[in-house]
Chains A and B, each alone.
Chain A
């Protein structure tokens, strides 16, 4: 209740006068490279234009693994940063521990409820109040393909997993690597996720991998999923373990491999290499998932501050994140689509347009599901259990039945 008053006071000051007191925001994030760093820099400039200083606290590595370690030790020493890059169900966990500050006043003043799709705004709220601001929506279930390679092999770009096996075989017979893949746990999980969605469908995905429903997990569908997933082992190259995802993407770019299953951030690699969408590369939904959309939303969560000026600065930052300028710049840089609805889409490319359309369409059919491979669907513990099973299965010669059994056991142990 106390912080609400503070925030309210802060919000009114905000509304009445241009902020004069120079409070700083200290932001913990792991965007240290290329387009991401440029986007952060843009946000920093926007805030500085509004008299809010930016103290950068960047800790890269392992998809935020190191950053989270730092955040935990900062939290435990009672000295959390003003804002930190946290996403998905972790926001709820931090909320439950009592660390997060409400930015409801800013959000209500700007009518976030109508600006944001409800799947996104739900994640940003704890106890019905906004505690975080979303920067983007990634679509994870993309298949990136090099049409020239397909042409040489006489193959067509697959739309179902059965078809995938046929076409992949053609690519392989023609001497190409069919599926460019980096054997790191999160990439194995990303492909696994696409298989789950393509083979099991959105309902099964939702039940088994979002709600953790044991009946769904124990069904035959799980075995089918592992069968398809296991077949993919023969279509990747032997050198994949440990490979970075962007190295795998460059295999598609330079015609060594036919396709890659990866989120929309892969687009950046094609762009940097000077390739054109449609002719040099194509983006289609991963096999069997054209009506579905696995989303991954990045966001900044705000930590409770003892200092009113800092709370006010949080409001300014939240406001800036939702601004159309920032949403556009950031998402053009990162390959994702804006979290904010009905923005001008002229600047975005055709893949992003597809993504925006699929987002709206799938939200009406129930095909819009959170990505478990990217920390959106389940707790970190359960996601970790899925990671371990998927990566171990994919790198072994275990049977589908063994894989399914291990998955059920691992999820049960983690819950």
Chain B
């Protein structure tokens, strides 16, 4: 018995987590999947209606807007956060004075929730109160910045606020990565006559691959779950032009008494994550092992 325990100790340690995960993640996902095939309205009711909810979902114009938005938002948010985070990290890594202060400034947005900063962002982006008014007051009367109230552009203001919140964290991850690079590699490259840009591009960036992986997982996770952000900044508006799937799901499941439909939208979201993430995870984990 003792010997069994000793040899299987790693599994025993992991077992509680595995059980909790099975129940509280996959069990609940299964529960939601089941719910998406029912006619549940205000509370769960187990009366099955087949694929009706999915048909309703994809004939709902608001859902289609939310899906488009998720695509735009996720791609732009991840891309800009990565580029900006990497750039700031590279600059900050050039033996800068006051690094600690600047780094803290970049990082602090991560510390504050959007319940808190939403109002400030709303003001800054509002043409009548914030940036546009400021520019007008300063005499630049042609300056226009009206994305927040423009149906086609509102989603981009969400991207701005999201990048503001998360890019500092990405910066920290890259900065950490850069600090880990062996100085001799860089010196060797410079001896070979490589310029600074060439050194970064050919030597250092490839070494950052694991950081990219970590950052993408964190950012994708934030993107899919983005909810507070939309709620605080645009409330999904103008109209429902800046709605994201998480907001759609919450609204329909909880305040619209269409729980079946809400569950169906959640399943579609998870399906999307599965389709994109699993191949990526698979290749990453495999390459790590070998």
Q: Say yes or no: B257 contacts A240, CB within 8 Å.
A: no
Q: Does B122 sit at the interface, judged by CB under 8 A?
A: yes
A242 x B254 contact (CB < 8 A): no
With A97-B43, A241-B149, A392-B61 as known contacts, state yes or no: A380 contacts B239, CB within 8 Å.
no
Query: Are B238 and A241 in touch, CB under 8 angstroms?
Result: yes
When distances are taken between beta carbons in the complex, the residues of chain B under 8 Å from A65 are: 251, 254-255
Instruction: Tell whether A379 is near chain B: CB-to-CB under 8 Å.
Output: yes
B149 touches A381 (CB 8 A): no
Supposing A239-B127, A240-B149 touch, asked if A406 and B258 sit within 8 A by C-beta, the answer is no
A395 touches B255 (CB 8 A): no
B34 contacts A by Cβ under 8 Å = no
In A380-415, the 8 Å CB interface with B consists of: 380-381, 383-384, 388, 391-396, 406, 409-410, 413-414
User: Which residue from A94, A185, A409, A414 sits with its C-beta under 8 Å from B237?
Assistant: A185
Nearest residue (CB) in A for B254 is A69
Chain A residues, Cβ within 8 Å of B41: 93, 379, 381
A392 near B255: Cβ-Cβ < 8 Å: no
B113 at the interface (CB under 8 A from A): no
Q: Is B187 an interface residue (CB 8 A)?
A: no
Chain B CB within 10 Å — which of A69, A242, A380, A388 has the most? A242
Interface hub of A65, A241, A383 (most chain B Cβ within 10 A):
A241
Q: Which of B83-134 contact A (CB under 8 A)?
A: 122, 126-128
Known contacts A76-B43, A396-B151; decide if A242 and B238 are in contact (CB<8 Å): yes
**Residue contact A68 to B240, C-beta cutoff 8 Å:** no
How far, in Å, is A222 (CB) from chain B's closest CB?
18
Please name all residues of chain A whose beta carbon is closer than 8 Å to the beta carbon of B233 when the two chains form the complex: 242
* A178-212 near B? 1/0 per residue, CB < 8 Å: 00000111001000000000000000000000000
Taking CB atoms, residues of chain B closer than 8 Å to A75 are 43
Interface residues on B, range: 35 or more
Instruction: Give the distance in Å from the alpha carbon of A184 to the alpha carbon of B42 in the complex.
Output: 24
Q: How long is the Cα–Cα vector from A62 to B227 in the complex, in angstroms?
A: 14
Do B151 and A406 have beta carbons less than 8 Å apart? no
Q: Does A346 contact B (CB under 8 A)?
A: no
Contact A394 B127 (CB under 8 A): no
Does A345 sit at the interface, judged by CB under 8 A? no
> Would A384 and B61 count as touching, CB distance under 8 A?
no
Given known contacts A239-B149, A380-B257, A414-B258, is B240 in contact with A185 (CB within 8 Å)? yes
B28 to nearest A CB, angstroms? Answer: 13
Chain B residues with Cβ under 8 A from A271's Cβ? none
Against A, the Cβ 8 Å flags (1 = close, 0 = not) of B48-81 are: 0000000010011110000000000000000000
Q: What CA separation (Å) do A117 and B7 show in the bound complex? A: 76
CA distance A62 to B235 in the complex (A): 9
| A388-B240 contact in complex given A241-B148, A380-B255, C-beta closer than 8 Å | yes
Segment 28-42 of A: residues with Cβ below 8 Å from B: none
Please name all residues of chain A whose beta carbon is closer than 8 Å to the beta carbon of B126 when the two chains form the complex. Answer: 239, 242
Interface check A152, CB cutoff 8 A: no
Cβ of A413 and Cβ of B238 under 8 Å apart? Answer: no
The answer to the question of B236 belonging to the interface, with a C-beta cut-off of 8 Å to chain A, is: yes
Contact between chains at A394 and B43 (CB < 8 Å): no
The verdict on B256 contacting chain A, using a C-beta distance below 8 Å, is yes
User: What is the distance, in angstroms, from B129's C-beta to the closest C-beta of chain A?
Assistant: 8
CB within 8 Å for A384 and B149 given contacts A76-B43, A392-B239: no
**Are B256 and A406 in contact, CB atoms less than 8 angstroms apart?**
no
Complex contact A242–B239 (CB within 8 A): no
- By beta carbon, the residue of chain B nearest A394 is B239
Residues A72 and B149 in contact, CB atoms below 8 Å apart? no
Interfacial residues, chain B to chain A (CB-CB below 8 A): 41-44, 56, 59-62, 122, 126-128, 146, 148-149, 151, 154, 231, 233-241, 250-252, 254-258
Give 18 A-B contacts (CB < 8 Å), ordered by A residue.
Answer: A62-B231, A72-B254, A184-B237, A185-B240, A188-B239, A238-B146, A239-B126, A239-B146, A239-B149, A241-B149, A242-B149, A380-B257, A381-B41, A384-B252, A391-B239, A391-B240, A395-B151, A395-B239
Which residues of A are at the interface with B, using a C-beta cutoff of 8 A? Answer: 62, 65, 68-69, 72, 75-76, 90, 93-94, 97, 183-185, 188, 237-242, 379-381, 383-384, 388, 391-396, 406, 409-410, 413-414
Q: Lowest 8 CB-CB distances: which A-B pairs, in order?
A: A395-B239, A241-B238, A384-B256, A380-B257, A395-B238, A239-B128, A392-B239, A241-B149
